[in-house]
Amino acid sequence: MGTDSTAARTLLHQAGTLNLQTGNLLNWGRLKKKCAVTPSEELQDCIRTTLNEWSLKISPEIVQESPHALECAVSQAMEAINPEEREEMRVSAKLFIVGSVLSSIKHAVDLACSTLGVAQLDSVIIAPPPLEDGVNLSLEHLQPYWRELESLVQDKKVVAIGTSDLDKPLLEQLYLWAQVKPNSNQVNLASCCIMPPDLTAFAKQFDIQLLTHSDPKELLSEENFQEALQESVQECRASEWSPMWILRYSVIVKTRGIIKSKGYILQAKRKVFL
């Protein structure tokens, strides 16, 4: 059940952009006790909890300012990386594009860097952009997104870039076309229990890491986001809001393989401002 926060509702009615940050989920005591949930369920739970915490702590000054972009976060869970420990950490992210705005990629990476207090991310994997039913993913679909990632590598904001759910022919097409080659490709083991041999052989030949994941094709639908928003902030005109992208990050201690931090950053926009 959401909180009845008039202030949160007022701010959402006036804003055009919502940046939602969970902070380090390992700092959320209540989530540790939960049994395993799907990535989509985890994300929706995070959205609800973050909105509830945020709406309880809105200061009157913010309502008076009525900012165009709302920063919605669980402040006590926010955790930057200690600069002295940066070399020991590997910071990786997976970016799910929901809207088709290309500048989303740079904005998402910039926000992740500022949240974690780092100059660059060690790796970013991009989930293929959503397509209309019946349309198959092609190199043409991927190229504009890959160019954005390449520019981030050239600007030293990202060290390595990777893909998700590409079969061997498409991965080969991307590899041959790209200036900055993909260094990894995630495979969903729900769709294939063993790695396809042609993909394995190609990845080995060109030194591409094959990783596994369990993310659904659509991590967060517009309906699910609006539902979480509506439950958290009553009568907030949730139907006017649409998620643009979701970035999930993890910070791993290199030598020990221990996850030190993980969280989500999400951006949504009011449709009238799209």
The model's pLDDT over 130-183, given as tens digits with 9 standing for 90+, comes to 788 888 899 999 999 999 999 999 999 999 999 999 999 999 999 999 999 999
**pLDDT above 90 (res 99):** no
Task: Give residue 36's pLDDT.
Answer: 58
Task: Give residue 274's pLDDT.
Answer: 52
More confident residue, 104 or 249: 249
Task: Give residue 2's pLDDT.
Answer: 43
Cα–Cα distance measured from residue 51 to residue 18, given in angstroms and rounded to the nearest whole number: 11
Cα–Cα distance measured from residue 205 to residue 199, given in angstroms and rounded to the nearest whole number: 10
Task: Give residue 223's pLDDT.
Answer: 94
Question: CB neighbours of 70 closer than 8 A, spacing ≥ 6?
Answer: 11, 12, 15, 17, 18, 19
**pLDDT above 70 (res 29):** no
Average pLDDT over residues 59-63: 76
Confidence of residue 72 (pLDDT cuts 50, 70, 90): very high
What residues form DSSP beta bridges with 245?
97, 267
Question: CB neighbours of 122 closer than 8 A, spacing ≥ 6?
Answer: 90, 91, 92, 158, 159, 160
Find out whether 116 and 91 touch, Cβ atoms under 8 Å: yes
Confidence of residue 191 (pLDDT cuts 50, 70, 90): low
CB atoms within 10 A of CB 216: 13
- Name the pTM for this structure: 0.92
Most confident of 37-41, 118-122, 221-225: 118-122
Most confident of 69-73, 74-78, 120-124: 120-124
More confident residue, 12 or 192: 12
Q: Which two tokens stand for residue 81?
A: 């990386």
Count of alpha carbons within 13 angstroms of residue 137, beta-carbon side:
19
Give the chain's mean pLDDT: 89
